[in-house]
Amino acid sequence: MAVAAILGLGFLRLRQPPLVGFILAGIALGPTGFGLIASSGNVTLLAEMGVVVLLFFIGMELSIKAFVLSLRQSLIVAGGQILAALAAAALIALITGATLAEGLILGFVIAMSSTVVAMKMLDDMGELRSETGRIAVGVLIAQDIAVVPMLILVSSLGGDELNISAMLVKMVVAIALLGGLVWWFGRHGKLRIPFSEDIEDKVEILALGALGLCFTAAALSGLAGMSPAYGAFLAGIVLGNSTLRSRIIPVIEPIQSILLVVFFLSIGLLIDLTFVGENFWTVLSAAIIVIAAKTVLNIFLLRRTGSSPQVALVAGLSMAQIGEFSFVLAAAGLSAGALDLDIYRVAIAVTAVSLLVSPLWVSLMHRLENITAEHLYSYRQAFAVAYARELQEVSKQGRALAGARWSLRLRYRAFRLARHHRRRVKAGKDSASS
Q: Is 224 helix (H, G, I), strand (E, B) or coil?
A: coil
pLDDT digits (tens, 9 = 90+) for 136-160: 888 988 887 777 778 777 877 765 5
Same domain, 280 and 197: yes
Predicted local distance difference test score (pLDDT) of residue 377? 46
Of 142, 145, 194, the C-alpha closest to 173 is 145
Same domain, 93 and 203: yes
Instruction: Let me know if residue 123 belongs to a domain.
Output: yes
Q: Among 331, 354, 375, which residue terminates a domain?
A: 375
Predicted local distance difference test score (pLDDT) of residue 302? 92
Of 243, 237, 238, 234, the C-alpha closest to 190 is 243
Instruction: Let me know if residue 26 belongs to a domain.
Output: no
Cα gap 55→215, rounded to integer Å? 11
Instruction: Give the CA distances from residue 282 to residues 110, 113, 177, 346, 347, in Å, rounded to whole numbers and listed in that order.
Output: 16, 21, 42, 9, 11
Residue 269: which residues within 8 A CB-CB, separation 6 or more?
26, 27, 29, 30, 31, 37, 40, 43, 44
Range of the domain at 295: 40-375
Instruction: Give the CA distances from residue 351 to residues 236, 282, 291, 409, in Å, rounded to whole numbers and listed in that order.
Output: 28, 13, 10, 50
Amino acid letter, 432: A
Cα gap 398→105, rounded to integer Å? 49
Predicted local distance difference test score (pLDDT) of residue 215? 93
Same domain, 369 and 395: no
Amino acid letter, 275: F
Instruction: Let me know if residue 85 belongs to a domain.
Output: yes
Instruction: Let me know if residue 166 belongs to a domain.
Output: yes
Of 94, 80, 149, the C-alpha closest to 300 is 80
Same domain, 345 and 399: no
Same domain, 86 and 61: yes
Residue 146: which residues within 8 A CB-CB, separation 6 or more?
78, 82, 111
Under the phi-then-psi rule, with left for phi > 0, alpha for psi from -120 to 50, and beta for the rest, what region is 81?
Answer: alpha
Q: Is 237:181 a contact under the CB 8 Å cutoff? A: yes
Residues in the chain: 434
Report pTM.
0.69
Instruction: Let me know if residue 346 belongs to a domain.
Output: yes
Cα gap 208→219, rounded to integer Å? 16
Q: Among 352, 375, 398, which residue terminates a domain?
A: 375
Number of domain units in the chain? 2
Helices (H), 280-340: 280-304, 309-318, 325-335
User: Alpha carbon 15 to chain centroid distance?
Assistant: 18
Cα gap 107→104, rounded to integer Å? 5
**206-245 burial by CB neighbour count: b if 16+ within 10 A, else e?**
beebbbebbbebbeebbebbbbbbbbbbbbbbbbbbbebb
Instruction: Let me know if residue 224 belongs to a domain.
Output: yes
Residue 33: which residues within 8 A CB-CB, separation 6 or more?
27, 273
Same domain, 364 and 402: no
SS3 track for 403-422: HHHHHHHHHHHHHHHHHHHH
Q: Is 279 helix (H, G, I), strand (E, B) or coil?
A: coil
Q: Is 249:262 a contact under the CB 8 Å cutoff? A: no
Same domain, 107 and 208: yes
Amino acid letter, 270: L
Predicted local distance difference test score (pLDDT) of residue 374? 52
Predicted local distance difference test score (pLDDT) of residue 379? 42
Same domain, 294 and 401: no
pLDDT digits (tens, 9 = 90+) for 178-216: 888 888 887 777 888 877 777 778 888 888 988 999 999
Nearest 5°: the CA angle 162, 168, 170 is: 105
Q: Is 281:102 a contact under the CB 8 Å cutoff? A: no
Backbone angles phi, psi at 242, to 5 degrees: -110, 175
Instruction: Let me know if residue 25 belongs to a domain.
Output: no
CATH of residue 98: 1.20.1530.20
Of 342, 350, 339, 345, the C-alpha closest to 102 is 339
Q: Is 163:156 a contact under the CB 8 Å cutoff? A: yes
Residue 206: which residues within 8 A CB-CB, separation 6 or more?
199, 200, 244, 247, 248, 251
Instruction: Let me know if residue 402 belongs to a domain.
Output: yes
Cα gap 159→86, rounded to integer Å? 21
Same domain, 158 and 297: yes
Cα gap 210→345, rounded to integer Å? 37
Same domain, 304 and 335: yes
Predicted local distance difference test score (pLDDT) of residue 370? 52
Nearest 5°: the CA angle 233, 237, 242 is: 145
Across the chain, how many H-helices and E-strands are there?
20, 0
Same domain, 319 and 424: no
Same domain, 92 and 138: yes
Predicted local distance difference test score (pLDDT) of residue 41? 67
Which residues of the chain are modeled with pLDDT < 70? 39-41, 158-164, 167, 365-415, 417-418, 420-422, 424-434
Predicted local distance difference test score (pLDDT) of residue 219? 93
Q: Among 341, 375, 409, which residue terminates a domain?
A: 375
